[in-house]
Every structure is written in C-alpha cells, then in structure tokens.
Amino acid sequence: TSRFVDVELAPPVPVFALTARYREDNHPNKYNLGVGAYRTDEGLPWVLPVVRTVEQQMAADPILNHEYLPVCGLDSFCKASTKLVLGDDASAIAQNRASGVQTLSGTGALRLGAEFLKRCLGMNVMYHSKPTWGNHIGIFQDAGFTDIREYRYWDASTKGLDIKGLLEDLRAAPEDSVVILHACAHNPTGVDPNPSEWEQIMQVVKEKRLFPFFDSAYQGFASGDLDRDAFAVRMFEKADFEMMISQSFSKNFGLYNERTGNLAIVAKDPESLRRVRSQMEKIARPMWSNPPNHGCRIVATVLGNAAFFAEWKDNIRTMSSRISDMRRMLHEKLRQLKTPGNWDHITNQIGMFSFTGLGSKQVDYIINKYHVYLMNNGRINMCAITTGNAEYIASAINDAVS
Ligand code: PMP
C-alpha cells in the first residue's frame, strides 16, 4: 500500500475548479466569467504590445543572460516599482526610507510581508474585508497568523460600501493588528471607498495603531490612470505611516504567469528599513532563494524609458476603457430586457470584477442552463464580456432573476 494512503484529499481551489468545469463543457455558447484575466473583444488573452516589443528586444540582446538575481531581486525593478506606487515626489523615497523587495507576484509579496510581520514583530491578528480575495486568508494562515478576522465592507442592500460597519469593526480591533486594504478596484466587489471615506479609515488605523498592508493588484487597470489608482496608498504615505504595499504586475502588464511583483516597504527612517530588508532577505532565501527575471526585466525596461512608459499607459487605457464599455453594454442590455431590480452597480463598480448580487442558486441556474460560468458568490469578470456575447449573458441573468 501507498505511504500516502492516509493523505486527505484537499478541496479544489474554487476559481480553478470552475475553469476545469468550463473546459469540460462542450456547448458552443460557453463563456468563462470566472478567472480574473483580461480578454480582448474577441474573447482572447492579450499580450500588451509594449511587452511584446520589449520581449523582442530582450531576445535579440546578446548581453542578457540567465544568471541568478540577488535574493531581493532586480534593483532597478524594485526601485521603479516602489516609485510607481508611492509617486515620484514621495518623501519616503527622497528620504531613503522606502524600498522594495522583488517577489513572486502579488501573492508572494503578501506572503513575504505576512511572514515578516509574524516572525519579526510577533503580529498575529489580521483583518480583511468581508468579502475579500480568498487567498488573503490562506496566505496569512500559512504564515502563522492564528487570528484572522473580518471587517464589514459590502452592503448587500445598497450594493455599495458599508462604511459605518467598516469603521466600527476597525475601531474594535486590537492594537498592532494587520489590516489588509485593497488599494483600488476591490476584489470581488468592485466597490472602493471615496476620498473622504479613505480619510476616515486612515484616522482609525492611526488611532488604533493598526498596521496598514495595502494590496495593489490593479494599479492603472482600474481607472486607466496610474496616479488615481494609487490615491489611497499615497494618502497614507503623506500622513507618515509605516506600511507595506504588495504590488502585482499580473493585470496591468498582463504578466500573469511570469510572477512579477514587488513588496514595497515604507519605514520611519533608513536604518529601520535596512534592518527590515535584511530580515526579508533571510525569509526569501529558504523560500524561493531568488526571484525570476523575465517579467521584472520587462517592467523595469518599460518604467525606465519615457517612450515605452507612454505606450504602456496607452495599453492600460485600452484595457480599462474596454472594461467600462462592457459595463455599459451589459447594463444597457439588462435595461432593454426590463430585468427586475436595479443594475446600476454594474456601471458604478470599478476594475476587473463586478459583484452582481446574484445568489448561488441563480449562479447554478445560469451555469447549467446557459453554460455561462461565474463564481458562486456572483462575481463576474467584466473582461470576459464581449460585444458578441453581452446579449446572451444579459439574457441568462435576466432569466435567472425573473
Ligand atoms: N490581490 C488581489 C486582490 C488579487 O485580485 C490578485 C490577483 N487575483 C492578487 C492579489 C495577486 O495575484 P498575483 O499573485 O497573480 O499577482
């Protein structure tokens, strides 16, 4: 008998299980609104043109090689990435008290940060929005956090932000809790606090001495404007917080499988930052030893060259405006069908996802009858909607709620 005979079968990861079901389906009109990846209006993955250009240059470059990067990654990438989120004029950068560590994308940045907070500062309580990106919980649990709590976020009645509940929950948090804040384009709800709500959140984080850990997975992808999507992070930086920001280049560069990320760290002084970085290096070495090069080289090249940078911003706007168009189109189709209920949240929400408000029974109905695959919580990837399928998807939703 196998040595593994008593190993329990772990449950599948929901979003990947949904994709597997979709693949097995032979229906001609099947659509996958589950996985969070950009699609063109033809329903295809997109390599950003600026990325393609840089890759071609890299392939032709006789000097580039496959030597190891340092444990903390490619310095030019980390610097450019940290600057991208904090802004060119951030005092933390000018004062040498902010820097980055290259990570295995956003997931790796969250994990590295969580490991550090647990081991080096003894933090054990983590707060995440209700709901949140599911992996937040697993990442912090695996880093050793044993007290994982929710703060209220989504208000099902308004299909908007429950700011009152959010503030109440954070006010009740013990000091030195880590609080995960989605920098923009909240996943899965597509609902972000407005500037005055961010101001109130910041006040509570300060009063309760919570540790802000921003998750920035959609900078530029959300509004089409890199600065606007970094608003909340920069507000905290200006108010002199020590904090961490996990940055993912999966969506805004379309580098999903290249695992391109940065953990930006802001400290009170350069000396503290140096000590923190030394510990990060100690944590990264036995976990992945050193990070991959391909994606970060592309990002560093684009961010370091004015012409490429301008082209990238243009590519980002292509993606974000297609998403806005699809929001408007789906909304309009639902209106034409006189679908019961108010669907304004489809156009009010921001980013890759829309939290439709569909319940799990309605979701099952849509999957089984229409072969349109969406997450059990009603989240849909707006990028998977195209001019060709919007009507079909709207009629599926209409049928499920009528
Ligand atoms: N945070 C959030 C909120 C996300 O939606 C994602 C991507 N699904 C990530 C982090 C990290 O993704 P990755 O590891 O691919 O950068």
Pick the catalytic residue from 133, 154, 312, 343. Answer: 133
Ligand 1 within 6 A of CB of 106:
yes
Residues 6+ apart with CB under 8 A from 221: 185, 229, 251, 252, 316, 319, 320, 351, 352
If phi > 0 it is left, if psi is from -120 to 50 it is alpha, else beta; for residue 184 that is: beta
Residue 215 among the catalytic residues? yes
Q: Which two tokens stand for residue 204?
A: 């509570």
What ipTM is given for this predicted complex?
A: 0.99
**DSSP character at residue 7:** P
Of 284, 257, 326, which is closest to residue 43 (Cα–Cα)? Answer: 326
Ligand 1 within 6 A of CB of 370:
no
Pick the catalytic residue from 162, 169, 192, 215. Answer: 215
Helix-then-strand count for the chain, H and E:
16, 13
If phi > 0 it is left, if psi is from -120 to 50 it is alpha, else beta; for residue 103 that is: beta
Q: CA–CA distance from 62 to each of 58, 59, 402 (Å)?
A: 8, 8, 62
Ligand 1 within 6 A of CB of 254:
no
Cα 253 to ligand 1 centre (Å): 13
Q: Given the CA of residue 107, which atom of ligand 1 is nearest to it?
A: 14
Q: Given the CA of residue 352, which atom of ligand 1 is nearest to it?
A: 5
Q: Which amino acid is at 302?
A: V
Residue whose CA is at the smallest distance from ligand 1 atom 6: 217
Ligand 1 within 6 A of CB of 381:
no
Cβ proximity of 265 and 277 under 8 Å: yes
Strands 178-182, 125-130: pairing is parallel
Residues 6+ apart with CB under 8 A from 330: 346, 382, 385, 390, 393, 394
Cα 247 to ligand 1 centre (Å): 9
Of 204, 203, 200, which is closest to residue 173 (Cα–Cα)? Answer: 204
- HEC sequence for 160-226: EECHHHHHHHHHCCCCCCEEEEECCCCCCCCCCCCHHHHHHHHHHHHHCCCEEEEEECCCCCCCCCH
DSSP run (H or E) holding 99: strand 98-104
Q: What is the pLDDT along the chain (402 residues), one digit of tens a residue?
A: 999 999 999 999 989 999 999 999 999 999 999 988 999 999 999 999 999 999 999 999 999 999 999 999 999 999 999 999 999 999 999 999 999 999 999 999 999 999 999 999 999 999 999 999 999 999 999 999 999 999 999 999 999 999 999 999 999 999 999 999 999 999 999 999 999 999 999 999 999 999 999 999 999 988 999 999 999 999 999 999 999 999 999 999 999 999 999 999 999 999 999 999 999 999 999 999 999 999 999 999 999 999 999 999 999 999 999 999 999 999 999 999 999 999 999 999 999 999 999 999 999 999 999 999 999 999 999 999 999 999 999 999 999 999
Residue whose CA is at the smallest distance from ligand 1 atom 8: 36
Residue 240's SS3 state is: coil
Ligand 1 within 6 A of CB of 133:
yes
Pick the catalytic residue from 79, 118, 159, 251. Answer: 251
Of 261, 213, 242, 211, which is closest to residue 84 (Cα–Cα)? Answer: 261
